[in-house]
Amino acid sequence: MFALPLVARRALLAAGVAVFTLPAVAQTPIKFQLDWRFEGPAALFLASDVKGHYKAAGLNVTIDAGNGSGGTVQRVASGTYDMGFADLAALMEFHANNPDAPNKPVAVMMVYNNTPAAVLALKKSGIKSPADLSGKKLGAPVFDAGRRGWPIFAKANGVQNVTWTSMDPPLRETMLARGDVDAITGFSFTSLLNLEARNVKAEDVVVLPYASNGVKLYGNVIIASPKLIKENPAAVKAFLAAFTKGAKEVMANPDASIEYVKARDGIINVELEKRRLRMAIDAVVASPDARAEGFGVAVPGRLALMASQVSDAFATKTRVDAGAVWSDAYLPSKAELNVLPAARK
């Protein structure tokens, strides 16, 4: 038995032929939260919804915007969401600071092989390299990933005696543009475009990515609740397989994929979000490290080093157990994970 296309059913009905419709197959509901607003990179997740990949995998996926990785980790831990997208460092911190928590989320797929964190400064400040940051005034929200991981960047580059100014996220780039701080930390593909929106030309900005300056932290991962993993591991596998299909299509044609984002937030600047998505793909999804290691996976040695660095930099209550925060048991096959676009020459 199979379901007939709508045109065929209408033709049979017109001819007086009885048509029997099969009952709809029950689908597993999955509540998923992003790390941030509906911006360019969200297309990686929205594509599989629009194109029906989640549905074809037997899932009814609801995707909501987030307000930071820490919040996403908390909401998956609480059971409010089944899965989410969050910074691996934030997940590690939650594990190490809540050793007795009954529902610690687990990372099940690597998406941002490198942290998007970067230091940004105006060229007129005279800052050209990490060494020039010693003694400077830096600014970022207190929960910013780059600020939280600053001790790792500072140690790798011998930077000393910086002072920090805290602000809400919308003020970060404004304060740099008007000279209230010497430099800021933020996601490279977010802060650079936000500076441009404040009439700062890209050529007037110095960008010092953590990944290019001795910091090999992993970035954002897909996380799943222990409850979902225990009760329905097949749903976790199905989600990752469906997501991978959509992500491959987005990376093959990123500009067209911004329409999926616009459908969720009609006031976005389409051209800006096209650039943001392309920058994110180049910098952290299809980065040289991702090409060397493979999409979706984590290398044990690098993961263990990050666990140690996060334990030290975040001064966690207990040491991060790399084996507890990560599982590759639900990943698609190596062939299915071969999704990265050809490297640009």
Q: 184, 140 in Cβ contact below 8 A?
A: yes
Q: How confident is the model at residue 22 (pLDDT cuts 50, 70, 90)?
A: very low
Residue 301 lies in a domain: yes
- For residues 96-114, b (16+ Cβ closer than 10 Å) or e, as one string? bebeeeeebbbbbbbbbbb
Three-state DSSP string of 177-241:
HCCCCCEEEEEHHHHHHHHHHCCCCHHHEEEEEHHHCCCCCCCEEEEECHHHHHHCHHHHHHHHH
Tell me the per-residue pLDDT of 219-237, one tens digit each, with 9 for 90 and over: 999 999 999 999 999 999 9
Do 277 and 128 belong to one domain?
no
Residue 160 lies in a domain: yes
Do 208 and 226 belong to one domain?
no
Q: Is 70 in a helix, a strand, or coil?
A: helix
Tell me which residue range forms the domain holding 173. 117-212
Residues 6 or more apart in contact with residue 121 via CB below 8 angstroms: 127, 133, 176, 182, 183, 184, 205, 206, 208
One-letter amino acid for residue 122 of the chain: L
Q: How confident is the model at residue 345 (pLDDT cuts 50, 70, 90)?
A: low
Tell me the per-residue pLDDT of 115-171, one tens digit each, with 9 for 90 and over: 999 999 999 999 999 999 999 999 999 989 999 999 999 999 999 999 999 999 999
Do 109 and 255 belong to one domain?
yes
Residue 330 lies in a domain: no
Do 99 and 227 belong to one domain?
yes
Residues 23-47, mean pLDDT to the nearest whole number: 89
Angle in degrees, CA 231, 233, 239, rounded to 5 = 125
16 vs 9: CA distance, rounded Å: 11
Residue 338 lies in a domain: no
Do 228 and 269 belong to one domain?
yes
Residues 203-213, mean pLDDT to the nearest whole number: 96
Residues 20-43, mean pLDDT to the nearest whole number: 82
The answer to whether residue 9 scores a pLDDT higher than 60 is no
Residues 187-215, mean pLDDT to the nearest whole number: 95
Do 229 and 103 belong to one domain?
yes
**How many CB atoms are closer than 10 A to CB 328?**
13
Q: How confident is the model at residue 344 (pLDDT cuts 50, 70, 90)?
A: confident
Residues 24-49, mean pLDDT to the nearest whole number: 92
Predicted local confidence at residue 342, as pLDDT = 86
273 vs 279: CA distance, rounded Å: 10
Domain tally for the chain? 2
Do 202 and 263 belong to one domain?
no
245 vs 242: CA distance, rounded Å: 5
Residue 229 lies in a domain: yes
Q: How confident is the model at residue 211 (pLDDT cuts 50, 70, 90)?
A: very high
Residues 317-342, mean pLDDT to the nearest whole number: 97
Residue 342 lies in a domain: no
Do 317 and 222 belong to one domain?
yes
Predicted local confidence at residue 17, as pLDDT = 45
Residues 6 or more apart in contact with residue 154 via CB below 8 angstroms: 160, 162
- What sign for the dihedral angle of Cα 174, 178, 179, 180? negative
Q: How confident is the model at residue 343 (pLDDT cuts 50, 70, 90)?
A: confident
User: Domain of 190: which CATH number?
Assistant: 3.40.190.10
Residues 317-331, mean pLDDT to the nearest whole number: 97
Q: Which of 13-22, 72-81, 201-210 has the lowest mean pLDDT?
A: 13-22
Which of 184, 212, 240 is the C-terminal boundary of a domain?
212
Kindly report the average pLDDT of the chain as a whole number.
Answer: 92
Tokens of 152: 């790792």
Do 307 and 228 belong to one domain?
yes
Percent of the chain at pLDDT exceeding 90? 90
Predicted local confidence at residue 125, as pLDDT = 96
Predicted local confidence at residue 19, as pLDDT = 41
Residue 265 lies in a domain: yes
Do 160 and 203 belong to one domain?
yes
Residues 87-107, mean pLDDT to the nearest whole number: 96
